[in-house]
Structure 1
Amino acid sequence: MSHTWDPDRYLAYADERGRPFVDLLARVQAERPHSVVDLGCGPGNLTALLADRWRGARVVGVDSSPEMIAAARSVEGIDWEVGDLRDWARPDPLALRAPIDVLVSNATLQWVPDHLELLPDLLDRVAPGGWFAFQVPGNFDEPSHTIRTDIAARTPYAEHTRDVAVPASHDAADYLRVLVDLGCEVDAWETTYLHVLSGPDPVFDWVSGTGARPTLQALPDDLRPLFEDEFRALLREAYPADRSGRVVLPFRRIFVVARKAGEGDRVDA
């Protein structure tokens, strides 16, 4: 089942969602790239950081959501495209597409099934000596996700939610092995952020803008409120507020920065 994204809801926690992108970008050591692409650019607020850092480069933001790209077009100086990441990575046997100097993907690959097998095709789009950097959530075993999965599997919700998109990712070591085998120099790590949230049901507000959104949209109007009420109650138990009303949301993320071998790089025998 298809779903749509809400840029305003996503941007409700823009600072918290943006920090991993900044941490990822700090490890990319490209100096004067000619072309930079952000795959899964969302509403474009973070893609703007790429244009600010590499002012001489052509920066392109790609996202499969027309709603996200419509919001991103308010950011000037960047080329915006609606497109599926899998189509963008498709091999180009005639070599008609110019190679990319810096390819970035922030919190997007987790939505692509079997994306580990897609890494070679994505790397093929990168120029020799270029950079491929991505970040994915690694918190899918946390209550913020498992509670949704458990409720969605119950009657009467299951018949509506069984085919919805569900995000998934791998450990840093898995991504490292694939990219090292492809000849890259790889820096892979993980970080658990502790997001301090406030307001009524802040964890529900967070996940309903991202990981839980396809599930919620799949439910009919008469069932969605019941699902949400149960989801909210269980999230409050899993993430209780302190005396000041603050809620701490631990969020593990996986980072990978790979430099593709260049034409002049030494290859050990």
Structure 2
Amino acid sequence: MTLWNPSVYLEFGSERLRPALDLMAQVPLETPKRIVDLGCGPGNVTALLQQRWPKAEVLGIDSSNEMLAQAKENHPEITWQQGDIAQWESSEPVDLIFSNACLHWLGDHESLFPRLLENLCDGGVLAVQMPNNFAAPTHQVIGDVLGHDHVLCPGFPVQEPEDYYNWLSDRTSRLEIWETRYRHILEGENPVADWTKGAALRPVLEGLNTQAEKEAFETAYRAKILEAYPKARDGKTLLAFQRFFLVAQK
């Protein structure tokens, strides 16, 4: 199991939060009664869901005990649950399943997404945001260092928009799919490498066998990323990062 470090993940908190807010703004529900934040991480997005719908019963679910510990400490008023999100099923239909930057870690989306819809009540909404930057240097440099056929390379876990449409269109009353390419302005010595260390690099570093292998990989990765994302004239770095969004109403 990958060990998540909440403080590293939240180092770029405002940039990581923006896609969640963009997704939340497109949820067509006024007064949902039951909300599940699937893959809630450290709970900062879950807390915003509770703020937007204060009368709703909100549940945050994550597989990481480290993330949930942070969530419980910062937001004790919300209900948190440890569990395998790949196998999650609700004991009763919910109004909103919200998942921000999580489901790309899981495979078999052709089965997963329709199954999640089954946990919604009539009129309920599945709202999903996933990173889709896997063709960019942030992810391709992993293969450049390890070899692109290495088992730890991330591959392309997010499918084409047309695939999600074909899987869900006949199961929903409303379906919206879009992609956004953000331009994050980052500060620091090698901020893009610091960004990926909080997410994409975690399973790679955990999967390497020895500390020497981890250090050698990270040194090579950071050097190549610094070359791929040079600083602008003012010393800041622009990170182009594409994300996939889906809002499906049952």
- Could you tell me how far 1:226 is from its partner in structure 2? 1.4
Residue type at the aligned position of 2:84: D
Residue type at the aligned position of 1:213: R
In 1, are the aligned partners of 2:40 and 2:62 still within 8 Å (CA)?
yes
Superposition misfits of 4+ residues, deviation over 6 angstroms: none
- Give the Cα separation in 2 of the matches to 1:105 and 1:68: 15
The C-alpha deviation readout for 1:185-235, integer Å capped at 9, x for no partner, is 101111000001111110110001101111112221012221111111110
The C-alpha deviation readout for 1:210-265, integer Å capped at 9, x for no partner, is 011111122210122211111111101110011221111100111011110xxxxx
Give the SS at the match of 1:73. helix
In structure 1, the residue matched to 2:175 is 186
In 2, are the aligned partners of 1:111 and 1:166 still within 8 Å (CA)?
no
Q: Does 1:123 align with 2:113?
A: no
One of 145, 154, 173 as aligned partner of 2:162: 173
Give the SS at the match of 1:210. coil
Per mean C-alpha deviation after superposition, the further-off stretch among 238-247 and 167-176 is 167-176
Cα 1:100–1:257 change in 2 (3 A) is same
Aligned pairs for 1:89-238 within 5 A: 89=89, 97-153=91-147, 162=151, 168-219=157-208, 220-238=210-228
In structure 2, the residue matched to 1:62 is 61
In 2, are the aligned partners of 1:35 and 1:57 still within 8 Å (CA)?
yes
Unaligned runs of 5+ in 1: 261-269
- Give the Cα separation in 1 of the matches to 2:88 and 2:64: 14
Per mean C-alpha deviation after superposition, the further-off stretch among 68-77 and 163-172 is 163-172
In 1, are the aligned partners of 2:152 and 2:203 still within 8 Å (CA)?
no
Residue type at the aligned position of 1:234: K
RMSD: 1.7
Count of residues in correspondence between the two structures: 248
The C-alpha deviation readout for 1:10-61, integer Å capped at 9, x for no partner, is 0000100000000001010211111000000000011101100111110000
- TM-score normalised by length of structure 2: 0.94
- Give the Cα separation in 2 of the matches to 1:239 and 1:38: 33
In 1, are the aligned partners of 2:23 and 2:128 still within 8 Å (CA)?
yes
- Give the Cα separation in 2 of the matches to 1:88 and 1:165: 23
One of 250, 253, 268 as aligned partner of 2:240: 250
- Could you tell me how far 1:184 is from its partner in structure 2? 3.3
Residue type at the aligned position of 2:117: L
Cα 1:167–1:39 change in 2 (3 A) is farther
The C-alpha deviation readout for 1:77-121, integer Å capped at 9, x for no partner, is 2110011112214xx8xxxx1100011011111000112321111
- Give the Cα separation in 2 of the matches to 1:6 and 1:166: 23
- Give the Cα separation in 2 of the matches to 1:13 and 1:111: 20
Per mean C-alpha deviation after superposition, the further-off stretch among 45-54 and 165-174 is 165-174
Residue type at the aligned position of 1:33: P
- Could you tell me how far 1:165 is from its partner in structure 2? 6.5
- TM-score normalised by length of structure 1: 0.88
- Could you tell me how far 1:163 is from its partner in structure 2? 5.2
In structure 2, the residue matched to 1:81 is 81
In 2, are the aligned partners of 1:165 and 1:214 still within 8 Å (CA)?
no
- Give the Cα separation in 1 of the matches to 2:48 and 2:179: 22
**Percent of matched pairs sharing the same residue:** 42
Cα 1:69–1:6 change in 2 (3 A) is same
